[in-house]
Structure formats: C-alpha cells, structure tokens
C-alpha cells in the first residue's frame, strides 16, 4: 500500500521539479529580455541613420527580434525599426562611432549594437569571431550567407561625380559628391544590400544659381518659376524669356511626375505647339524639337485640330488656342 502510494506520487513530483526548473529559467531569461529592452529601445525615438547604410531589411514590429538578427550578423552595427509599418533595417554604421549620421526621422527607433542589453549580447555569437560575410547560427556556427553576393555600379545621380564601376560586395557604401557649382541635398550614401540591389539614392545636386534666384526646385535637377498671372501663350513666352527662362518642356515621365506635385489641377502653359498636316496634329516643343513618345494627354485629348498649343489640365495635357489665358510656368536648365 505504501509502496503503491509512493509510486503514484513520484511522477507528479518529477513533473513539478521539471516545471519549476523550466519556469525559473524562463523567468530569469524573460526578466532580461522580455520587457526591459522593449522599454530601453524606445529611446531614442524619431532618429535614424536614413536608408543609405542599410544592408538588409525584413519585417517585424519587435525591437527584440530586430536586435537579435543584428547580433547574428557581424556586419550589423545598429538597427532602425519602424514599429508602425513593422520594418527593421540592419545598418553597417553606428551612431556611436559616426554621430553625425543620425538624423531626425518620424516613427523610427534607432539602437546601436554597443548599447544592446547585455543579456542579448551574452551568447555564442559573441565568442565565435565570425567575419562580416557570415551569419552566426548557434547550431552551425559561422555560415557564409553573404559571401559572393555583389551589386553592380551605384545608381547615377544627376550633377554628381561619376559613380565607380562595380561589382561591389554586400555592405559596401558609396558616398556621392556634387560637381562644381552644385549644392548637395539629402543623404549622400547608398549601400549594397544582400539582395544585390543598392539602397535608394535620395541624394540630389541642385544648381547654386537655381537656389540663389529663388526658383522652385522640382525633382532631381529642374528649376521652375510659377505665377498666377493669366497670360496668352505669346505673352507667357515673352515673360519667361525676360526672366532668362523658357516655357516648360516635359521630356521624361520622372520630370512630369515630380512637377505634378507642384501644379496639381492648375492650368499652366506648356512650351509646345502643333503643325496641322492634312488633318493630323504633329507636336513640337518651342525649340522645334519633336515631342517624344511620352505624352500624358488627359482623357479625350487632343480633341481639336484647330487648337495647337499645350496646357496642363486635370493631371495631364490638353490642347487649346493661343489666345486663351493661362497661368505662367517657366523653366530654367543649367
């Protein structure tokens, strides 16, 4: 009876002991990693290294997961986490060693690896001394996941010095510089990512004269003057010429998309005209250059062979007569 009773209680005791050991281990680990880092890593908020130093991006809303992956990549020196859209960026630079790189950025949590909680850093990856082209995995050690991966030449930036010829390894960062008489705007870096693509080059080089004249800079390299003054086509062209400028020519989709952000649905003159050849309109710019294949006409336009001039209208182009009155938009190129 006693032996049977003792036998029946032993499995329960064994289970309780195992559970107690597991619970203590979990509580001890959770005390270090479950809550405190989430609180610690909410500061500093609203700062980042931008996108020019990112070598890997992945989805997670968790600071812990983002930091943990950074730890597994020796190349990673810091993280930028957008908790709102759940995007984690692993960076090749740290604001501890490069404080000038930190810039105000909405909804971003930045954390340098030097400031990660000790409980996260205290693992096997910190003792293996893996090189930058590897990823540390606790079960297999240093795995060369980045080795052999490259990017071609960095993207070209208008009015910046020529980019060097590729290929370049993952983690390589290119720093753009502007040509003489051009002023830099936005971050000047782009980095080769593990997917073989460069980070988006947001750098711009703006002509100093464009800025000094108080013109509106649009997109990468276009300078404009806008006025609500309503003029005929000939008067608008004369006003632009008096300012040392010309009526606007749209020569690419990127220029048009950049311009739309400034003009909206407003009606402006464009520097185009048409020849009526046997009932068909053939379109040219004011310099007699034939308008290329990119022609973003508004729906139903052009609608009359007798209206041989161009305006912006409802997010597209419309043909009108030269005596119509439209707002002034002048363009200057350098």
User: Is domain 213-332 in CATH 3.10.100.10, yes or no?
Assistant: yes
Return the pLDDT at 279: 85
Structure tokens belonging to residue 332: 């200057």
Q: Give me the residue label for tokens 């190349």.
A: 75
Query: DSSP H helical segments within 35-93, as ranges?
Result: 36-40, 63-72
Handedness of CA 51, 57, 58, 62 (dihedral sign): negative
CA distance 135 to 128: 11
**Domain assignments of the chain as residue spans, ordered by start:** 39-143, 148-210, 213-332
CATH of domain 39-143: 3.50.4.10
Judge whether 330 and 240 are in contact, CB under 8 Å.
Answer: yes
Q: Residue 12's pLDDT is what? A: 53
Residue 134: the pLDDT is 93
Q: So what CATH class is 148-210?
A: mainly beta
- Report whether 239 contacts 330 (CB < 8 A): yes
Strand partners, 19: none
Lookup result for tokens 């604001």: 95
Q: In whole angstroms, what is the distance from residue 260 CA to residue 266 CA?
A: 10
Give residue 34's pLDDT.
Answer: 45
User: What is residue 220's predicted lDDT score, i.e. its pLDDT?
Assistant: 57
Question: pLDDT in tens for each of the 334 residues of the chain?
Answer: 444 444 344 555 444 444 443 433 433 334 344 444 444 444 456 889 989 999 999 999 999 999 999 999 999 999 999 988 999 999 999 999 999 898 888 889 999 999 998 878 777 777 788 899 999 887 788 999 999 999 999 999 888 999 999 999 999 999 999 999 888 988 999 999 999 999 998 888 888 888 877 788 776 567 899 999 999 999 999 999 998 899 999 988 988 988 898 888 899 999 999 998 888 899 999 999 999 999 999 999 999 999 999 999 988 999 999 999 999 999 987 6
Asked if residue 97 lies in contact with residue 124, where contact means CB atoms within 8 angstroms, the answer is no
pLDDT attached to residue 23: 39
CA distance 177 to 183: 9
């Amino acid at each position: 009876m006693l032996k049977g009773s003792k036998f029946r209680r032993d499995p329960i005791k064994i289970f309780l002991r195992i559970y107690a050991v597991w619970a203590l281990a979990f509580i001890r680990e959770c005390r270090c990693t479950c809550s405190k880092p989430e609180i610690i890593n909410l500061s500093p908020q609203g700062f980042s290294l931008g996108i020019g130093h990112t070598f890997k991006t992945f989805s997670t809303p968790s600071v812990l997961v983002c930091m943990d992956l950074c730890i597994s990549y020796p190349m990673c020196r810091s993280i930028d986490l957008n908790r709102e859209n759940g995007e984690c960026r692993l960076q090749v630079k740290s604001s501890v060693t490069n404080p000038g790189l930190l810039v105000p950025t909405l909804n971003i949590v930045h954390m340098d690896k030097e400031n990660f909680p000790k409980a996260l850093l205290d693992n096997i990856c910190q003792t293996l001394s893996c090189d930058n082209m590897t990823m540390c995995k606790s079960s297999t050690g240093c795995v060369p996941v980045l080795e052999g991966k490259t990017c071609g030449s960095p993207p070209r930036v208008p009015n910046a010095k020529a980019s060097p010829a590729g290929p370049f390894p993952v983690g390589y960062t290119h720093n753009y510089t502007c040509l003489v008489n051009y002023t830099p705007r936005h971050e000047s870096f782009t980095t080769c990512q593990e997917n073989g693509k460069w980070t988006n080059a947001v750098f711009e080089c703006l002509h100093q004269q464009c800025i000094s004249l108080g013109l509106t800079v649009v997109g990468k390299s276009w300078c404009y003057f806008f006025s609500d003054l309503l003029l005929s086509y000939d008067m608008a062209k004369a006003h632009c010429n008096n300012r040392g400028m010309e009526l606007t020519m749209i020569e690419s989709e990127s220029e048009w998309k950049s311009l739309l952000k400034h003009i909206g649905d407003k009606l402006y003159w464009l520097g185009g005209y048409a020849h009526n050849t046997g009932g068909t309109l053939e379109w040219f710019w004011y310099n007699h250059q034939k308008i290329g294949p990119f022609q973003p006409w508004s729906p139903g336009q052009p609608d009359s062979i007798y209206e041989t001039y161009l305006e912006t209208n409802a997010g597209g182009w419309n043909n009108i007569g030269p005596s119509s009155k439209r707002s002034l938009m002048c363009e200057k190129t350098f």
